[in-house]
Amino acid sequence: MDSYTDGNTILTQSLHPQVYNELQMIEQLTCINEAAPEIYRDINFIGGHISSMNVHTHAVVVRNTGKLPTKNVRLGHNFLPNYNIFPNIKYELTNLPNGGKEISFPILVPNEQITISYLYFAPTVYTDINTHVMSDDGLAKVISVIPSPNLSTKIKNMLYILIFIGATTLIYFILVLLNCMLHCFFH
């Protein structure tokens, strides 16, 4: 283990160079307020050792759109990164024979919705994580957007009326503008 002393702080180099470099960077930034401009050269040098990383996230939303409860809902994973389940409900984590993991929920009542959010680092992408979503009733239907409730018939009709009035007004003003242009050029 190597040590680096600067002022009142002693930094000890560990087996993890990223941690050591990050501590050096913090120490050097602290010294900026107290030292001469030569510190900037050290910061640029140390900054070259800090690596950047990509953090990825995605979410899977499971919803029971049927009229009956669905039992034993299971989500399979090739591997399970950091995850969060919302809302906080009872679930079980099971190891699969191929090394993957499965999150299972004992029951989903009608219109209940669960969101599982994942956090992982490159080079892993979302297609490497999830494998299946199924229940005792069969495989889940996969859609690429979160379903939203339909608008009521009254609201839809009001929107159609407003669109019609707006389009009619636009056509009227275009015709008035064309009429003015024709009268200006030919009179």
pLDDT digits (tens, 9 = 90+) for 43-54: 444 444 555 778
Which pTM was predicted? 0.53
The band of 91, judged by pLDDT with boundaries at 50, 70 and 90, is very high
- For the chain, domain boundaries: 3-47, 55-139, 150-187
| DSSP 8-state class, residue 150 | P
d(CA 182, CA 47): 68
**Burial of 36 per CB tally in 10 Å (0-12, 13-18, 19+):** exposed
Top pLDDT among 126 and 34 is at 126
| Domain spanning 55-139, CATH architecture | Sandwich (2.60)
The torsion defined by the Cα of 156, 160, 165 and 167, in degrees rounded to 10, comes to 140
C-beta neighbour count of 118 within 10 angstroms: 19
Q: Which residue has the higher pLDDT, 1 or 109?
A: 109
Return d(Cα 174, Cα 100) in angstroms, integer: 63
